[in-house]
A = this chain, B = another copy of it.
Amino acid sequence: MAFSERIARLKSSLIREILSAAQRPEVMSFAGGLPAEPMLPKVDWAQMPANIGQYGMSEGEPELREVIAAEARALGVPCDASQVLIVSGSQQTLDLVSKLFIDPGTEVLVEAPTYLAALQAFQLFGADCIAVPQEADGPELAALRQRLEKHKPAFAYLIPTFQNPSAVRYSEAKRDAVAALLDEFGVTLIEDEPYRELVFDEGSATPIVSRLQKASWVYTGTVSKTLLPGLRVGYLIATPDLYPHLLRLKQSADLHTNRIGQWQALQWLGSQHYRDHLAQLRQFYRLRRDAMQAALLEHFADLADWEIPQGGLFFWLTLKQPLDTRTLLGPALAQNIAFMPGEPFFIDPDQNPGHLRLNFSHVAPERLSEGLQRLAGVIRVAQAEVAA
């Protein structure tokens, strides 16, 4: 069987295998990024018009595009509805952007760490990914400048607000600095913002695309983290030089995004009941974040360092004694604990041992302490073996 050469780059997804193992009901999972089921809003379908069942436009539903553009403008993103493309979850933005820009060997700039599934998509198309180390307030600016001087990336892929996995939110100063650098070097920005609305403090985080003067950009978001992931409704907003190509690529990929999910999203976005739901969601996740922080202090204070996430769904732990955390997966699952090793979030996994991504939205607070105690025990055993 002769497959395309890209199939040699098609990696098995570690997270897929972990999530599969984590489906056993006895497993306590810190692995995924799933919304908490008690917080999935009740939705009503009774008013949906019958003609929503018909084929739709590749661009998406006109009214939904208007609402998304208005919300983005309120964030400072200069755009109108003609720049909005509804996608089948923001994962599809990664597929479309990969098709638009990436040939084998095309350079792409990413954060270290970065979103696992973005790395997979870019590398499937043959990208040569170049990484900029992440600090607590955003990328190392000197490293970013050095990469831009030395390389010609087709785009920079950044997740500046509560990044998956690191939970980092870029500071205002770094947002400005990154925008200035991308303008200076004329590098297109792909800004991925699934977690923007899951924020637990008053910190400001205007999108980087709103600060660009010259560079082209794609801004992408989703209703998966705030409404219902099962709808598979996301969106991208693109500068007019990119939009027509992305639209044709979208048409070729799946004609258009399902209209029933688009209709449901339209019942929520921009409404008061959506704002009320978001307020409840933030309160719920803040309590879970606080419970996780307390349990981590109890069991991990001597094992790891971490920042308290101000948004998103994850803690990112750095072990004081690094080891390849992928080796912990088997022993942890034997104790009915699932977590996400940090290595696969780097373009060079073997050079970046010692991080764990722990989701705090899924496990009920009353079980946290027991779960983290077991996970800490697994780490202590492994570290003792390394030391022996």
Residues of A with Cβ closer than 8 Å to B?
A: 1-7, 10-13, 16, 32, 34-35, 37, 40-43, 45-46, 48, 50-56, 58, 87-89, 91-92, 94-95, 99-103, 106, 117, 120-121, 124-125, 152, 154, 188, 216, 224, 227-233, 241-242, 245, 248-249, 251-261, 264
Q: Within the complex, what minimum Cβ distance (angstroms) separates A369 from chain B?
A: 26
Cβ of A35: which chain B residues have Cβ within 8 Å of it? 54
Contact yes or no, A4 B99, CB < 8 A? yes
Contact yes or no, B91 A248, CB < 8 A? no
Contact yes or no, B54 A230, CB < 8 A? yes
Contact pick for A88, options B13, B32, B88, CB 8 Å = B88
- Provide the bound-state CA to CA distance between A259 and B254, in Å: 16
Contact yes or no, B101 A3, CB < 8 A? yes
Given contacts A43-B53, A124-B249, 12 further A-B contacts (CB under 8 A): A2-B154, A4-B154, A5-B103, A7-B245, A32-B55, A34-B54, A53-B228, A232-B254, A232-B258, A233-B258, A258-B261, A260-B264
Contact yes or no, B248 A230, CB < 8 A? no
- Provide the bound-state CA to CA distance between A92 and B258, in Å: 13
How many copies of the chain does the oligomer comprise? 2
Contact pick for A50, options B40, B102, B188, CB 8 Å = B40
Contact pick for A258, options B55, B253, B258, CB 8 Å = B258
The answer to whether residues A91 and B255 also contact, given A40-B51, A40-B54, A231-B260 and a CB cut-off of 8 A, is yes
- Provide the bound-state CA to CA distance between A106 and B5, in Å: 11
Cβ of A256: which chain B residues have Cβ within 8 Å of it? 232
Cβ of A154: which chain B residues have Cβ within 8 Å of it? 2, 4
- Provide the bound-state CA to CA distance between A330 and B40, in Å: 50
A sample of 26 inter-chain contacts (CB < 8 A) reads A1-B188, A3-B245, A4-B102, A5-B103, A6-B99, A7-B100, A7-B245, A10-B248, A10-B249, A13-B251, A16-B251, A35-B54, A41-B53, A45-B46, A52-B230, A88-B88, A88-B232, A88-B258, A89-B254, A91-B253, A95-B254, A121-B252, A124-B252, A258-B261, A260-B261, A261-B261
Contact yes or no, A232 B255, CB < 8 A? yes
Contact yes or no, A4 B101, CB < 8 A? yes
Contact pick for A253, options B41, B42, B101, B253, CB 8 Å = B253
Cβ of A12: which chain B residues have Cβ within 8 Å of it? 248
Cβ of A32: which chain B residues have Cβ within 8 Å of it? 55
Q: Within the complex, what minimum Cβ distance (angstroms) separates A281 from chain B?
A: 13
